[in-house]
Amino acid sequence: MITFVTNNERETFELGYKIGAKLKKGDVISLNGDLGAGKTHLTKGIAAGLGVDDYITSPTFTIVNEYMGRLPFYHFDVYRIDDIYEMYEIGFDEYLYGDGVCVVEWGDMVEELLPKDKIYIYIKKLDDSIREVQIKGLEGEV
Ligand SMILES: Nc1ncnc2c1ncn2[C@@H]1O[C@H](COP(=O)(O)OP(=O)(O)OP(=O)(O)O)[C@@H](O)[C@H]1O
Ligand SMILES: [Mg+2]
């Protein structure tokens, strides 16, 4: 596990960018942490690092937003699902085992559906603007 501390939103974005630049086809990121921890901000950086030019918004009500960068990029937010069958309905497996990269905000909520071989990120609020970002399963240095 590697741990980073970010002091503001921009540093979280930049960390995300470095992660995004390293991602490979088929990578799945389970992204966890309390409400307002910075999951979506980290995801914006990941998307930018993957070469996505679009403005990233949280897919809270749609479950998934799809983008195209150097690889297809699928951004999930599963916070509001009532049960995991909603994930079968949207064809979650096809995204997970497809040719893109998936980031799943609140991934722990659908843990049993995620591949064993995944990247796990946990963001902890240390202070108003300070975050600890723990990363497991990402190959190489960030
Ligand atoms: N170091 C930091 N990194 C990221 N965000 C920060 C940081 N410091 C303060 N913030 C603020 O914390 C909030 C993070 O919001 P964000 O939507 O990214 O969180 P989230 O984890 O996706 O929340 P949710 O669970 O509602 O989806 C923003 O208002 C942002 O400005
Ligand atoms: Mg969010």
**Does 29 fall in a domain?**
yes
Within-domain flag for 40? yes
Residue nearest (by alpha carbon) to ligand 1 atom 23:
36
The Cα–Cα gap between 28 and 97 comes to 9
Q: Among positive and negative, which fits the CA dihedral 114, 37, 16, 134?
A: negative
Would residue 83 count as lying in a domain? yes
Q: Is residue 138 predicted with pLDDT exceeding 90? A: yes
Q: What pLDDT score was predicted for residue 141?
A: 83
Q: Does the beta carbon of 3 lie inside 6 Å of ligand 1?
A: no
**pLDDT tens string 20-44:** 999 999 999 999 999 999 999 999 9
Closest-approaching ligand to the CA atom of 37: 1
pLDDT exceeds cutoff 90 at 140: no
Whether the CB of 37 sits within 6 Å of ligand 1 = yes
Is 56 within a domain? Answer: yes
Nearest of 9, 12, 47 to residue 135 by alpha carbon: 12
Residue 141 lies in a domain: no
Parent domain of 70: 2-136
The DSSP bridge pattern shows strands 119-125 and 101-105 to be: unpaired
What value does the mean pLDDT take over residues 45-65?
95
Mean pLDDT, rounded, for 52-70 = 94
Q: How many domains does the chain have?
A: 1
- pTM of this structure: 0.97
Report the nearest atom of ligand 1 relative to the CA of 131. 1
Report pLDDT for 21. Answer: 98
The distance in angstroms from the start CA to the end CA of the chain is: 12
Kindly report, residue by residue over 68-124, the tens digit of the pLDDT.
Answer: 999 999 999 999 999 999 999 999 999 999 999 999 999 999 999 999 999 999 999
Nearest-10 crossing angle of helices 39-49, 9-22: 40
